[in-house]
């Protein structure tokens, strides 16, 4: 799929942030201790603009977060799929992980679910490539365990 210029620009910023996360995560950790918030430093060094909102996980470790703001009809689902690819190839450097897909309405939930469950859909095909064929789409009512 050919991306629009603003989509390319958004993914370029995501990529810059993820690359900086890798660099600063390595510098911030000493044994089991975190010397500073590597995610905040990576955001600053990536130069993606706007203020960074710090988050920590349940163990008080830095938790990298970011948000893509794209207008209605702007290809958010496509960008989400491409972002998953970047996160796994640059930041986690593995083809597995848990992705929780959150949508604001039941209508969008149904539309997204149909596309992601359809193995012939380009979005699903991209996810299958990224996950080495291990994509599992669960609905909000499905139970799952580690």
Q: What residue numbers bound the domain in which 20 lies?
A: 5-130
pLDDT reading at 55 higher than 90 = yes
Structural domain contains residue 141: no
Q: Are the beta carbons of 64 and 86 closer than 8 angstroms?
A: no
Residue 144 belongs to a domain: no
In a domain, 38, yes or no: yes
138 part of a folded domain: no
Residue 50 in domain: yes
pTM: 0.86
Domain-embedded: residue 22 = yes
Contacts of 135 (CB under 8 A, 6+ apart): 116, 124, 127, 128
Q: Of 70, 53, 54, give the one whose Cα is nearest residue 62.
A: 54
Asked if 122 and 75 count as a contact pair (C-beta separation under 8 A), the reply is no
Q: How many domains does the chain have?
A: 1
Q: Give residue for tokens 């370029």.
A: 12
Report pLDDT digits (tens) over 58-114.
999 999 999 988 888 899 889 999 999 999 999 999 888 888 888 889 999 999 999
* 114 falls within a domain: yes
Element (H, E) at 10: helix 5-28
């Amino acid at each position: 799929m050919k991306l629009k210029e603003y989509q390319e620009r958004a993914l370029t910023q995501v990529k810059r942030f993820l690359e900086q996360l890798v660099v600063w995560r390595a510098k911030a950790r000493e044994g089991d201790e975190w010397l500073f918030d590597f995610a905040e430093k990576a955001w600053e060094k990536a130069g993606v603009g706007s203020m960074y909102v710090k988050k920590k996980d349940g163990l008080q470790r830095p938790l990298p977060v970011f948000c893509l703001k794209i207008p209605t009809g702007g290809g958010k689902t496509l960008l989400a799929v491409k972002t998953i690819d970047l996160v796994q190839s640059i930041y986690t450097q593995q083809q597995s992980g848990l992705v929780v897909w959150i949508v604001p309405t039941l209508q969008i939930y149904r539309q997204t679910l149909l596309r992601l469950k359809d193995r012939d859909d380009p979005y699903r095909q991209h996810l299958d490539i990224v996950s080495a064929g291990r994509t599992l789409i669960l609905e909000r009512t499905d139970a799952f365990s580690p």
